[in-house]
Amino acid sequence: MTGAAAAPTLEEDPVAALAEGVLDGSRPLEALFVVDCDPLHTSPAGGLLREALDRIPLVVSMTPFRDETAAAAGFVLPSPVFLEAWQATTTPAGVPFSVLGLGEPVVDPPLFDTRHPADVLLELARHLGGNSAAALPWEGYDAYLKHRLEGLAVSGQGAVISSSFEESWVHYMEERGWRFSKRRDTDDFYRELAEQAAWWNPVRGTGNWERLFRTPSGRFEFYSQNLARRLQRLGAGSDAEAFSRGAASLGLAAPVDEACLPHFEPPSGEGEGDLWLSVFRPITARGRLGIASPMVLEMFGYPFLDGWRTWAEIAPETAHELHLEDGDEVQVRSERGEVEAVVMIRPGTSPGIVHLPAGLGHREHVGAAGGIGANPLDLVADVRDPLSGAWSPNATRVTLRLLRRRDHGGPPPAHGGHG
**Mean pLDDT in residue range 184-209:** 79
- Measured at the CA of 40, the angle between CA 37 and CA 44, to 5 degrees, comes to 110
Task: Please give the average per-residue pLDDT across 146-159, as a whole number.
Answer: 84
**Pair 348, 277: CB distance under 8 Å:** no
**How does pLDDT run across 235-289, given as a tens digit for each residue?**
888 788 888 888 888 888 888 788 899 888 877 777 788 999 999 988 877 777 7
Report pLDDT for 411.
Answer: 54
Q: What is the pLDDT of residue 419?
A: 39
Please give the helix or strand (H or E) that residue 295 lies within, else none. helix 294-298
SS3 361: coil
Phi, psi of 101 (to 5 degrees): -110, 140
Average pLDDT over residues 199-228: 80
CATH architecture type of domain 275-415:
Beta Barrel (2.40)
Which region among 64-73, 99-108, 300-309 has the lowest average model confidence (pLDDT)?
300-309
Choice between 283 and 179, residue whose per-residue pLDDT is larger: 283
H/E run at residue 345: strand 337-345
Q: Residue 118: in which H helix or E strand, if any?
A: helix 117-128
User: Which comes out higher in pLDDT, residue 73 or 152?
Assistant: 73
- Residue 419, Cα to own-chain centre: how many angstroms? 33
Task: Tell me the pLDDT band of 375, cut-offs 50, 70 and 90.
Answer: very high
Q: What is the pLDDT of residue 416?
A: 43
- The confidence score (pLDDT) of residue 1 equals 47
Q: Would you kindly state where each structural domain of the chain is located, as residue ranges?
A: 14-83, 86-201, 275-415
Give 376-387 pLDDT, tens digit per residue.
999 999 888 888
pLDDT more than 90, % of the chain: 42
Domains 14-83 and 275-415 share a fold: no
Using alpha carbons only, what angle is made at residue 202 by residues 197 and 203, rounded to the nearest 5 degrees? 135
Helix (H) or strand (E) holding 35: strand 31-35
**Topology of domain 14-83, per CATH?**
Rossmann fold (3.40.50)
The pLDDT value given to residue 178: 57
Q: What is the pLDDT at residue 2?
A: 46
Q: Report the mean per-residue pLDDT for the chain.
A: 84
Q: How far apart are CA 254 and CA 266, in angstroms?
A: 9
Q: Which amino acid is at 5?
A: A
Where in 156-207 does DSSP place strands (E)?
Answer: 159-160, 198-201
Alpha-carbon span 393 to 270, nearest angstrom: 11
Alpha carbons within 13 A on the beta-carbon side of 159: 18
Closest alpha carbon to 200 in 107, 92, 282, 280: 92
